[in-house]
C-alpha cells in the first residue's frame, strides 16, 4: 500500500520521511509521473501540512492530484465529495488501477455495495471514499462518517455550492452544515471556474475563512484571442476565409443552434472534411464524429456547446465562436481546447449587439419575474394539487407555467409528489431564485464587457477568474496587443478628422481628467466633426494606444443604476497631448477575404 504512516518511525536506520517529504516519491512511485505540473507541488505541500485551501485552476491542470497525493501522504482516509456519478466512477477506477484503495457511495449503487463500502470505511480499509453530496441528507449517514474521522476532506467542483456559480446544486448547501461533524481534517475545495464572487461564497459557506487561496494557470501563452464585431450575415464567409489557410486547422467552430451547425458544416464541408455535432444527433453518430476528429480524418467540427467534454486532441489550431457565448466561463472553457500542444493557436469570436439582444430574450423567457413564480407558490399548499389545477389558479399560459414551475422546483418553492401532483415547498425560494437571475444577468454583462474590451484580451480573462497577480502582463498576441496579426479584425490609420478629435480628447482630459465619455463627446465634437460612433472609434483607438484609460462608474437615478465610463489620461497620453501627436489606429471594416477556390475535399458526412 502506498500509505506509509509518518508516525511509524523506525528505530533503526534513518528517520522516516515526513509526509511532506514523501510527496515526491509518491508522485513517482504510486502515480508514475516524473514531475509535478505547475503549482501542484506548492498546493500538495500546503494541504499535506494541514492547511485549508481553495484551489482554482483550469480544467486539465491536474487538480485531482492536489488532494490525492496529500491524502496518501497524511495516511488515513480522504473523503471526496463529487457531484457527478460518472466523474466519481472514473476517478475511483483510475485510483484502483494504481493499487490505491478507493470506494464510492452514490444513488447509482446497489444498497449492498454501498453498505460494503461503509464497512470498509469504518474498518479503516480505504484510502479514498467518494460520496455524492446528497448523501449528506440521508439520516445518520454523516454521523456514520463521523465515527471515523477522515484525514482530509476534498470538495471537487466546489463552485456547485454557490448560486453565483454556473452549476449551482442545492445539495452542496448541506456541506456547510455537515462539515463541522467531520472536522478537524483540512478541507481542500477545487474548481476550474470561480470568479472572485464565487470564491467568496465557497469560502464563506464551507467556513474556511483562513484558507489559502491559490488561483493559477489561467493565462495561456500560446493562445491569441481575437474578438470582432460582425453582422450575422457575414459570419459564415469569415469562418470560411479564416479556416482556408491549412495551418489554421484542425478547428472547432461553435455555433449557437443545431440548425446553424448543420448549415455551416455543409458549407465548410465543400472545402475541408467537416461534420456537425449537436445533442440532437444519435449517440452513435456523435461518437463517430468525435472519433474521426480525434484521428484527424475530420479537420473541422461545427458544434453546439455539447461538443468538447472529454475531447483530448492536442493539436487544435483554431476555435471559432460564431455568436456571443452566454458566459465568460463557458467561453474560456471552449477556447481552452485550442493549442494544448503548446504551439500557437487562435480563438476567434464573432458577435454583434443583435446577439446580445437574443440572449436577453432567452433570459426573459427562461427566467420569469419572481412575481410569476409567486403566483404558483400561492396556488400550492400542503395538500397535493394537480399541475393543471395549479396553472388555472395561477392564471398562466402553459409555456410560462412550465418554465416558472420548473424554476420554483429548482429553488425549493415547490415539490412534485406522485405522478403530476405538487405541494408547496420552502419559503426561501425567492432569495435563491432572485440571486440566480441576477447571476445570469451579470454573466451577460461580463461577456459583453469582454467583447467590447479595449485592452489585452488575455489580461481580461485572467482577471475575470480572480488571478490579480497575473493580470497586468499584456499577451502580445491578441487582436488588441497585435492588431496587425488579426485575421478578421482590421485597423487603419486615423483620418484628419479623427486625428483632430483625438487631440481634442487628449486636450479636454488634460484640462479636466476623469470626464464621463458622453460629456467628452459633447465637448470634443460640438461641430459634428465626427458622429457618436466615429467618436467612440477614436476613443477606442486612444485606449488601445494606451493614451487613455477608461473606468466604469455608476450613479442612481429614480432607483435605477445608470452605468457610464470615465476617461483618464495615461502618461503616454500626456506626452502625446503636449506633442500634438494624434496618430492612432482606428478599427476598420472586418476582413472577409473571398476564399480561393479549393479542390473539393472529401466529406465524411
Ligand atoms: P483537473 O481536475 O484539473 O481538470 P485532472 O486532475 O483530471 O485535471 O488531471 C488531468 C490529467 O492530467 C489527468 O489525466 C492526470 O492523470 C494528468 N496529470 C495530473 N498531474 C500530472 C503530472 N504531474 N504529470 C503528468 N500528468 C499529470
Ligand atoms: Mg477535476
Question: Across 479-547, where does the E strand assignment appear?
Answer: 490-493, 515-516
Other Cβ atoms less than 10 A from the Cβ of 66: the count is 27
- Using alpha carbons only, give the angle 371, 330, 468 rounded to the nearest 5 degrees: 100
Closest CA to 78 of 146, 129, 147: 129
Contact present, 578 and 479 (Cβ < 8 Å): no
Q: How far apart are the first and last CA of the chain?
A: 50
Who's near 197: CB < 8 A, 6+ residues apart? 162, 164
Q: What global pTM score does this model have?
A: 0.77
As given in the structure block, the three cell numbers for residue 451 are: 467583447
Identify whether 312 is preceded by a cis peptide bond (ω within 30 of 0).
no
Q: Could you give the CA distance from residue 92 to residue 129 in angstroms, rounded to a whole number? A: 9
As given in the structure block, the three cell numbers for residue 539 are: 476613443
Distance 129 CA to ligand 2 centre (A): 16
Confidence of residue 462 (pLDDT cuts 50, 70, 90): very high
Nearest ligand (C-alpha, residue 155): 2
Helix axes 328-335, 457-464, angle to 10 degrees: 120
Q: Taking 50 as the threshold, does the pLDDT of residue 401 lie above it?
A: yes
Q: Could you give the CA distance from residue 46 to residue 53 in angstroms, rounded to a whole number? A: 8
The DSSP annotation for 100-145 comes to: --EEEE-TTS-HHHHHHHHHHHHTT--SEEEE-GGGGGSTTHHHHH
Distance 187 CA to ligand 2 centre (A): 16
Distance 432 CA to ligand 2 centre (A): 26
Q: Whose CA is nearest to atom 16 of ligand 1?
A: 62
Q: Could you give the CA distance from residue 283 to residue 307 in angstroms, rounded to a whole number? A: 12
State which ligand 1 atom lies nearest to the alpha carbon of 64.
Answer: 6
What is residue 24's three-state secondary structure? helix
Distance 81 CA to ligand 1 centre (A): 18
As given in the structure block, the three cell numbers for residue 167 are: 452549476
- pLDDT of the residue at 13: 60
Distance 510 CA to ligand 1 centre (A): 52
Classify residue 563 by burial, with Cβ atoms within 10 Å: 0-12, 13-18, 19+: exposed
Identify whether 146 is preceded by a cis peptide bond (ω within 30 of 0).
no
State which ligand 1 atom lies nearest to the alpha carbon of 58.
Answer: 3
Distance 62 CA to ligand 1 centre (A): 3
Query: What average pLDDT does range 347-368 have in this prediction?
Result: 94
Q: Whose CA is nearest to atom 5 of ligand 1?
A: 62
Q: Which residues line ligand 1 (CB under 6 A)?
A: 33, 36-37, 40, 57, 59-65
Distances in Å between the Cα of 347 and the Cα atoms of 239, 271, 295, 318 are 12, 21, 22, 6
Contact present, 71 and 152 (Cβ < 8 Å): yes
The DSSP annotation for 51-82 comes to: --EEEE--TTS--THHHHHHHHHH-SPEEEE-
| Residue pLDDT, tens place only, 31-53 | 999 999 989 999 999 999 999 99
Q: Whose CA is nearest to atom 17 of ligand 1?
A: 62
What percent of the chain has a predicted confidence (pLDDT) above 70? 95
Ligand 1: which of 29, 38, 57, 64 to mutate, most ligand atoms within 8 Å of CB?
64
Q: Taking 50 as the threshold, does the pLDDT of residue 597 lie above it?
A: no
- pLDDT of the residue at 17: 78
Confidence of residue 202 (pLDDT cuts 50, 70, 90): very high
Q: Taking 90 as the threshold, does the pLDDT of residue 258 lie above it?
A: yes
- pLDDT of the residue at 197: 83
Look at the alpha carbons of 577, 583, 584, 586 in this order and tell me if their dihedral is positive or negative. Answer: positive
How does 95-133 read in b/e, with b if 16+ C-beta sit within 10 Å?
beeeebbbbbbbeebeeeebeebbeebeeeebbbbbbbb
Who's near 187: CB < 8 A, 6+ residues apart? 52, 53, 153, 154, 155, 179, 206, 208, 211
Confidence of residue 595 (pLDDT cuts 50, 70, 90): very low
Distances in Å between the Cα of 139 and the Cα atoms of 115, 135, 142, 144, 195 are 14, 9, 8, 10, 34
- pLDDT of the residue at 603: 43
Residue 503 parent element (H or E) = helix 496-511
**Residues with Cβ–ion distance below 5 A, ligand 2:** 63
State which ligand 1 atom lies nearest to the alpha carbon of 33.
Answer: 24
| Residue pLDDT, tens place only, 132-160 | 988 888 889 999 999 999 999 999 999 88
State which ligand 1 atom lies nearest to the alpha carbon of 66.
Answer: 6
What percent of the chain has a predicted confidence (pLDDT) above 90? 70
Q: Whose CA is nearest to atom 9 of ligand 1?
A: 62
For 435-468, the three-class secondary structure string (H helix, E strand, C coil) is: HHHHHHHHHHHHHHHHHCCCCCHHHHHHHHCCCC
State which ligand 1 atom lies nearest to the alpha carbon of 61.
Answer: 3
Closest CA to 244 of 322, 349, 317, 314: 317
What is residue 558's three-state secondary structure? coil
Q: Could you give the CA distance from residue 547 to residue 532 in angstroms, rounded to a whole number? A: 20
Distance 343 CA to ligand 2 centre (A): 24
How does strand 414-417 pair with strand 318-321?
unpaired
Q: Taking 50 as the threshold, does the pLDDT of residue 601 lie above it?
A: no
Q: Could you give the CA distance from residue 7 to residue 16 in angstroms, rounded to a whole number? A: 8
Q: Could you give the CA distance from residue 185 to residue 182 in angstroms, rounded to a whole number? A: 7
Residue 131's DSSP bridge partners are: 81, 105
Half-sphere exposure of residue 311: CA atoms within 13 angstroms, side-chain side: 33
Nearest ligand (C-alpha, residue 83): 2
Nearest ligand (C-alpha, residue 56): 1
Ligand 1: which of 27, 62, 81, 94 to mutate, most ligand atoms within 8 Å of CB?
62
Distance 85 CA to ligand 2 centre (A): 13
Q: Could you give the CA distance from residue 30 to residue 1 in angstroms, rounded to a whole number? A: 9
Confidence of residue 307 (pLDDT cuts 50, 70, 90): confident
Nearest ligand (C-alpha, residue 62): 1
- pLDDT of the residue at 589: 83
Does residue 463 come out as left (phi exceeding 0), alpha (psi in the -120 to 50 range) or beta? alpha
Amino acid at each position: 500500500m502506498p500509505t506509509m504512516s509518518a508516525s511509524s518511525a523506525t528505530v533503526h536506520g534513518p528517520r522516516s520521511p515526513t509526509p511532506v517529504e514523501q510527496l515526491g516519491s509518491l508522485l513517482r512511485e504510486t502515480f508514475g509521473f516524473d514531475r509535478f505540473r505547475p503549482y501542484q507541488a506548492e498546493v500538495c505541500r500546503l494541504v499535506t501540512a494541514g492547511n485549508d485551501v481553495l484551489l482554482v485552476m483550469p480544467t486539465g491542470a491536474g487538480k485531482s492530484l492536489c488532494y490525492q497525493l496529500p491524502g496518501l501522504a497524511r495516511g488515513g482516509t480522504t473523503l471526496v465529495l463529487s457531484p457527478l456519478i460518472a466523474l466519481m466512477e472514473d476517478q475511483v477506477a483510475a485510483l484502483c488501477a494504481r493499487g490505491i484503495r478507493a470506494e464510492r457511495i452514490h444513488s447509482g449503487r446497489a444498497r449492498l455495495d454501498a453498505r460494503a463500502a461503509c464497512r470498509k470505511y469504518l474498518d479503516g480499509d480505504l484510502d479514498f471514499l467518494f460520496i455524492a453530496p446528497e448523501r449528506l441528507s440521508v439520516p445518520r449517514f454523516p454521523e456514520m462518517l463521523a465515527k471515523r474521522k477522515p484525514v482530509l476532506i476534498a470538495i471537487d467542483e466546489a463552485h456547485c455550492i454557490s448560486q453565483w456559480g454556473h452549476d449551482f446544486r442545492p445539495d452542496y448547501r448541506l456541506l456547510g452544515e455537515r462539515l463541522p461533524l467531520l472536522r478537524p481534517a483540512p478541507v481542500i475545495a477545487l474548481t476550474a471556474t470561480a470568479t472572485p464572487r464565487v470564491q467568496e461564497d465557497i469560502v464563506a459557506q464551507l467556513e474556511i475563512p483562513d484558507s489559502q487561496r491559490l488561483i493559477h494557470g489561467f493565462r495561456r501563452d500560446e493562445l491569441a484571442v481575437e474578438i470582432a464585431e460582425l453582422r450575422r450575415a457575414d459570419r459564415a464567409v469569415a469562418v470560411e476565409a479564416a479556416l482556408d489557410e491549412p495551418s489554421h486547422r484542425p478547428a472547432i467552430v461553435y455555433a449557437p443552434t443545431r440548425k446553424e451547425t448543420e448549415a455551416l458544416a455543409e458549407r465548410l464541408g465543400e472545402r475541408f472534411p467537416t461534420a456537425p455535432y449537436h445533442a440532437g444527433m444519435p449517440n452513435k453518430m456523435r461518437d463517430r464524429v468525435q472519433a474521426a476528429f480525434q484521428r484527424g480524418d475530420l479537420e473541422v467540427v461545427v458544434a453546439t456547446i455539447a461538443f468538447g467534454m472529454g475531447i483530448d486532441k492536442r493539436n487544435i489550431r483554431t476555435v471559432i465562436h460564431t455568436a456571443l457565448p452566454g458566459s465568460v466561463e463557458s467561453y474560456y472553457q471552449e477556447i481552452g481546447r485550442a493549442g494544448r500542444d503548446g504551439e500557437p493557436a487562435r480563438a476567434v469570436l464573432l458577435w454583434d449587439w443583435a446577439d446580445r439582444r437574443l440572449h436577453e430574450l432567452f433570459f426573459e423567457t427562461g427566467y420569469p419575474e419572481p412575481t410569476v413564480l409567486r403566483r404558483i407558490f400561492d396556488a400550492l399548499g400542503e395538500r397535493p394539487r394537480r399541475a393543471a389545477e395549479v396553472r388555472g389558479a395561477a392564471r398562466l399560459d402553459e409555456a410560462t407555467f412550465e418554465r416558472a414551475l420548473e424554476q420554483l422546483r429548482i429553488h425549493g418553492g415547490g415539490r412534485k409528489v406522485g405522478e403530476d401532483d405538487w405541494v408547496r415547498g420552502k419559503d426561501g425560494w425567492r432569495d435563491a431564485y432572485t440571486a440566480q437571475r441576477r447571476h445570469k444577468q451579470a454573466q451577460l454583462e461580463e461577456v459583453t464587457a469582454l467583447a467590447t474590451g479595449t485592452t489585452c484580451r488575455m489580461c481580461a480573462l485572467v482577471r475575470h477568474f480572480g488571478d490579480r497577480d497575473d493580470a497586468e502582463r499584456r499577451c502580445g498576441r491578441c487582436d488588441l496587443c497585435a492588431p496587425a496579426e488579426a485575421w478578421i479584425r482590421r485597423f487603419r490609420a486615423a483620418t484628419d478628422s479623427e486625428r483632430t478629435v483625438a487631440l481634442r480628447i487628449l486636450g479636454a482630459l488634460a484640462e479636466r481628467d476623469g470626464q464621463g465619455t458622453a460629456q467628452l463627446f459633447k465637448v470634443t465634437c460640438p461641430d459634428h466633426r465626427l458622429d457618436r460612433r466615429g467618436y467612440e472609434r477614436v476613443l477606442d483607438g486612444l485606449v488601445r494606444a494606451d493614451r487613455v484609460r477608461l473606468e466604469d462608474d455608476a450613479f442612481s437615478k429614480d432607483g435605477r443604476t445608470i452605468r457610464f465610463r470615465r476617461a483618464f489620461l495615461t502618461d503616454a497620453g500626456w506626452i502625446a497631448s503636449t506633442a500634438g501627436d494624434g496618430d492612432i489606429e482606428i478599427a476598420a471594416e472586418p476582413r472577409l477575404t473571398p476564399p480561393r477556390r479549393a479542390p473539393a475535399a472529401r466529406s465524411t458526412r
